[in-house]
Amino acid sequence: MCGISCIIDKSHSIDDRILTCYTKRVSHRGPDSMGILKFADSDGLPQTDDNNFLVGLGHRRLSIIDLSENGSQPMLSTDKSLAIIYNGEIYNYIEIRQELEKEGISFRSKTDTEVIIESYKKWGINCLSMFNGMWAFVILDRKRRKIVISRDRIGVKPVYYYLKGKMLAIASEIKQFFELPTFKKEPNTDSCLSYLLTGYEIPPETCFKDVLSFPPGCYAEIDIDSPEVIPEKFWFPENMPIYKHSEKELISRIMNVFTASVNFRLRSDVPVGGCLSGGLDSSAIFTEMKQLQPSHDFNAFSACFEDPQLDERRFMKSIIDKTGSSHIQVFPNPNEFIADLPEFFRKHDEPVGSLSVYAQYKIMQAASTRKVPVLLDGQGGDELFSGYWTSYFLMLNNYYCKNDFLPLLKHVGASLIGGNREFFSQIFSHLSEYRKRNSRALPFSIKSKYLGQSEALNTIQWHRDAQILSPREYRNAEIFRIHLPRLLKWEDRNSMAFSIESRVPFLDVNLVELILSINPEHNMRKGWTKYLFRKAMDSKLPKDICWRKDKKGFETPQDKWMKSGVFNKYLLNWASESNHPVTEFISEDFKEIKEILAGGNFNSIRMFRLFCMDYWMSNLAS
């Protein structure tokens, strides 16, 4: 994984020093090497060593494939007509390379970077449909005086842009824009309000004014002489047809495609490990890794807690014993969190959703300490296979609203032999949560001057809008709009903070397209979520994991940390401070917030958002 930097500067206000600092800002993404190329403002865009330039490309490299200098970036095509900066992995690069070699194309390196640039040279923008992987890249087409941006289908890898006057800047992380003389660190009011009220974002907007996230599954061809970013889609998952398969065929195909996906993600010239939570998804990946490479001793990395309600070590041990692997456990605690706060938030650029993000941060830190630069992770499994209880209950609500009672009766089977009775207890907790959301039970209220603006946000009514979506529409929303985009953003920042490449087998294009061709109802049966995937892994996983009835998710003792002990004291001290920029948005003064914190009667997730937003606004200049 790497960090990319691109600046088009028609005003000639950006010099070599700024480009260098702009690129160095993400040294953590690529500690192995740094490269910069500059191109002058004349026909053909010749390379230049002058202080000023028209187009500047910068790259920080994390070496994963072909560790030699042949893989250094920015990289030029063989005829030097194209230059590329790239962050990601094209997992099927070997197969594409072989196809290009049949066409007479020779290669100087063994990298997937060179495969991308030669694929673009051969097939143009159509090459994107051939790539199976995660990517964010910029290609400079010197002859056409254009740059091409692209981001992978799901948005595993980030790319941001900032357009001001005659300058366009493109980056892997928002903090890079801080180096630009025209950039002002100003909050985006809509995004800040959305985060405070719901925790959700409003892509492509970010919490920073004038900074946009380039959308997944898109590309843009940008004229260097008049830069304007107009994303165009190259992938259309919403048009995926639904196919009717027998259950036996579906299970077989899921198992085969999943195995191929994990196998692709084991391609590496450096050590590979896995994240292990004890749940179905990470356990399936780690077990598959070991079956594919039985002689390899993979390290498993886990966040653990002594709290009995959150302790999953017995499930982790089941997988460790089965695979005979090494197990590295980290125990995040509130003292460490307080010490890590400045750097943790600095790496994320924007407010995060909960303390579970920090637990993942500590896993990545442990992998870095053990010198394991590649980790496979289970992100995306819940969204793909309808693993959240909310998906199940909204499906039943959809049946009810359509007076379709026969399918409803089928799910009563949760109480029978082979059913999951946890289904019934979850109904009540989810009804309670939805009542809270409807009442907007927040520990603060939005100032009257922002009420109209906040009501107009398309995230504010999401939980209500979701109730009228079909199961297929809701699944697509989870994958492309709501849950997954922010989880992937946080995972990218956590992993890259420690120069770790995180790979997500569930988001392989072949697996995503297969699941999108199946009605989500097939994954929810007799009280079970992820039914088809459980069936696919039934012979490979221990029964207590494959058919585990409860679902903890990736949880931390956030409620306990915030309502007692050292972190509660930290929050009380925070509330006692005199300067709170978040009061721009909320009506309460911080005497009231302190009283709420001291009383302990508050929703910890919503209070954490208030703390994060205030901390972020106080440290915009960092």
What is the domain-level CATH number for residue 109? 3.60.20.10
The yes-or-no verdict on residue 622 having pLDDT over 70 is no
Is 495 within the bounds of a domain?
yes
CB of 137 closer than 8 Å to CB of 88: yes
**Distance, CA of 510 to CA of 508 (rounded, Å):** 6
CB of 136 closer than 8 Å to CB of 159: yes
Is 551 within the bounds of a domain?
no
Kindly state whether residues 269 and 378 are assigned to the same domain.
yes
Is 552 within the bounds of a domain?
no
Q: Is 209 exposed, middle or buried (0-12, 13-18, 19+ CB in 10 A)?
A: middle
The yes-or-no verdict on residue 401 having pLDDT over 90 is no
The percent of residues in the chain predicted with pLDDT above 70, rounded, is 97
Reduced to 3 states, what is the DSSP secondary structure of residue 520? helix
For the residues 236-240, what does the mean pLDDT come to?
A: 93
Q: What is the pLDDT of residues 248-269, one digit of tens each?
A: 999 999 999 999 999 999 999 9
Q: Count up the domains in the chain and report the number.
A: 4
Domain enclosing residue 442, as ranges: 389-468
Is 578 within the bounds of a domain?
yes
Q: How far apart, in Å, are the Cα atoms of 573 and each of 566, 576, 582, 597? A: 11, 5, 16, 10
CATH of the domain at 496: 3.40.50.620
CB of 436 closer than 8 Å to CB of 586: no
Last residue of a domain, one of 200, 219, 235: 235
Q: Where are the beta strands (DSSP E) in 493-620?
A: 501-503
Kindly state whether residues 88 and 71 are assigned to the same domain.
yes
Q: What is the pLDDT of residues 491-519, one digit of tens each?
A: 999 999 999 999 999 999 999 999 999 99
The yes-or-no verdict on residue 402 having pLDDT over 90 is no
Last residue of a domain, one of 216, 235, 254: 235
DSSP-based helix, strand, coil % in the chain, nearest 5: 45, 15, 35
More confident of the two residues 42 and 436: 42
Q: How far apart, in Å, are the Cα atoms of 22 and each of 170, 181, 228? A: 10, 11, 21
Instruction: Compute the C-alpha angle 68/71/72, nearest 5°.
Output: 105
pLDDT at res. 363:
98
Kindly state whether residues 522 and 505 are assigned to the same domain.
yes
207 pLDDT tier (thresholds 50, 70, 90)? very high
pLDDT at res. 407:
78
Reduced to 3 states, what is the DSSP secondary structure of residue 123? helix
pLDDT at res. 600:
93
| DSSP classification of residue 446 | B
pLDDT at res. 400:
84
Kindly state whether residues 529 and 394 are assigned to the same domain.
no
Kindly state whether residues 290 and 438 are assigned to the same domain.
no
**Could you identify the residue written with the tokens 């009231």?**
592
Q: What is the pLDDT of residues 554-578, one digit of tens each?
A: 678 999 999 999 999 999 999 999 9
Is 402 within the bounds of a domain?
yes
pLDDT at res. 300:
98
Q: What is the pLDDT of residues 516-539, one digit of tens each?
A: 999 999 999 999 999 999 999 999
Among 239-243, 292-296, 417-421, which stretch is predicted with the lowest mean pLDDT?
417-421
Closest CA to 183 of 191, 195, 175: 175
pLDDT at res. 291:
97
Kindly state whether residues 198 and 102 are assigned to the same domain.
yes
The yes-or-no verdict on residue 410 having pLDDT over 80 is no
Last residue of a domain, one of 546, 581, 597: 546
**Distance, CA of 602 to CA of 604 (rounded, Å):** 6
Kindly state whether residues 378 and 260 are assigned to the same domain.
yes
Kindly state whether residues 537 and 585 are assigned to the same domain.
no
Kindly state whether residues 345 and 477 are assigned to the same domain.
yes
Kindly state whether residues 188 and 284 are assigned to the same domain.
no
Q: Is residue 546 annotated as part of the catalytic site, yes or no?
A: no
Is 206 within the bounds of a domain?
yes
For the residues 20-27, what does the mean pLDDT come to?
A: 98
- Which helix H or strand E contains 88, and what residues bound it? strand 82-90
Kindly state whether residues 141 and 60 are assigned to the same domain.
yes
How many Cβ atoms are within 10 Å of 496's Cβ, its own excluded? Answer: 27
Kindly state whether residues 168 and 245 are assigned to the same domain.
no
| DSSP classification of residue 133 | E
Lay out the sheet containing 272-275: strands in order across. Answer: 326-330, 299-303, 272-275, 374-376, 501-503
What is the average pLDDT score of the chain? 93
CB of 531 closer than 8 Å to CB of 522: yes
CB of 583 closer than 8 Å to CB of 592: no
CB of 200 closer than 8 Å to CB of 194: yes
pLDDT at res. 557:
93
pLDDT at res. 440:
55
Reduced to 3 states, what is the DSSP secondary structure of residue 141? strand
Tokens of 122: 């051969």
Q: What is the pLDDT of residues 311-363, one digit of tens each?
A: 999 999 999 999 999 999 999 999 999 999 999 999 999 999 999 999 999 99
The percent of residues in the chain predicted with pLDDT above 90, rounded, is 82
435 pLDDT tier (thresholds 50, 70, 90)? low
Is 415 within the bounds of a domain?
yes
- Which helix H or strand E contains 384, and what residues bound it? helix 381-384
CB of 576 closer than 8 Å to CB of 325: no
Is 553 within the bounds of a domain?
no
| DSSP classification of residue 571 | H
